[in-house]
Amino acid sequence: MRDTISLNRMTTTIIFLLVLTLLVFIHELGHFLAARMFGIRVDEFAIGFPPRIASWMWGKTRYAINLLPLGGYVRIYGENTEDARTPDNMLSKPKWQQVVVLAAGVTFNIILAWLLLSLSLFIGAKASVDAMPAAIVQNPALTVVMVAPGSPAEKAGLKSGDEILSITNSKTLLASSTLSVIGAQGVIAGAENNVQVTVKQFKPKTGEKEYEVKSLTVVPKDGIVAGKKAIGISMDMIATVKAGFFESFYYGARQTYYLTKNVAIGLYTFLGTAIMGNASLEQVSGPVGIAGAVGESAKTGFSSLLVIAAVISANLAVLNLAPFPALDGGRIVVVAIEAIIRRELNPKVIQWVNGIGFLLLIALMLVITAKDIWTLF
């Protein structure tokens, strides 16, 4: 039994690291190609973080493969304030070119999400019905998309991928054709004590061939979502969707738009509640929580893995666009300010602000990761 659990965790870790490496590689590739397009020198393009396994020079760029498979990075000439102001320095280029270079990573992550979603639709995948025409939708069902670690839903036994057959709070019952996301959220928010959720729970590695129908009792609580009771799940109307080759790119684009919009709304809503002091760490997940989600998706099939990779890619794009120091969005804000005032800000001040921002992001990630690990035990 322990050997099986260890093997599952190892497989999940390997899949997660492969997905993470792909997403970060594509992000950094965007920066790299945009920089080279404008004649900006790139000193290094690395996969993973040091210590270095292998490296080689090609032109003026050193390409490296490093030991720690936690993403990657590019070093663009001009990011260091002490770099000489030569024509191939990024800071010597027009402001609009600097913005293009800074935004290219985010753009490539959105493009990757589109390609992954398009491929999943061509293969045949579970997808939200919101962006899909009825002609390519089969068997829609209210589905648990995500379960927050340590939430009442997780403690009750709800899992990502569960299809909700009915939900009641003793006063209101929703079942069959009356089920909807808004309706289910209303039942949960209006519960006096608990809600009874009946789900179809599929067995791992069987797809939809084997499942159990379970009736679970969940106790909603305050603090998960601002202003109302919740149980720590995200829901959506999910159906099996399969499109033709060219159709899949069109509907993949629609899905990418809705996905990115919802991620942005979710992120900035969380930031707003955080500023007001009403946010909870149960609303977010770090690497450990994301690795678990990737592992669960991989168990249900390749298409599901493509979808979760697209979701993470969209999250990476939206997060990087946030106007926070050390992130691409924060650096774009600096370039925009310099363009407006027609002079450069003090580079040493910017470097200090970005350094502090980076340390704050690392600290936040460590806290979230600790929370994710704590919920495992």
Could you tell me the end-to-end alpha-carbon distance of the chain, in angstroms, rounded to an integer? Answer: 17
Euclidean distance between CA atoms 61 and 28, whole angstroms: 14
State the amino acid at position 193 in one-letter form: N
Give yes or no: 28 in active site: yes
Euclidean distance between CA atoms 71 and 48, whole angstroms: 5
Are the C-beta atoms of 157 and 216 separated by less than 8 Å?
yes
Helix-helix angle 245-275:95-123, to 10 degrees? 120
* Long-range interactions of 293-297: CB distance < 8 A, separation 24+: 293/146, 293/160, 294/12, 294/15, 294/16, 294/19, 295/8, 295/11, 295/12, 295/15, 295/16, 296/159, 296/160, 296/161, 297/160
Q: Which of 28, 163, 282, 296 is catalytic?
A: 28
* Phi, psi for residue 208 in degrees, rounded to 5: -115, 20
State the amino acid at position 215 in one-letter form: S
Give the catalytic positions in this structure.
28
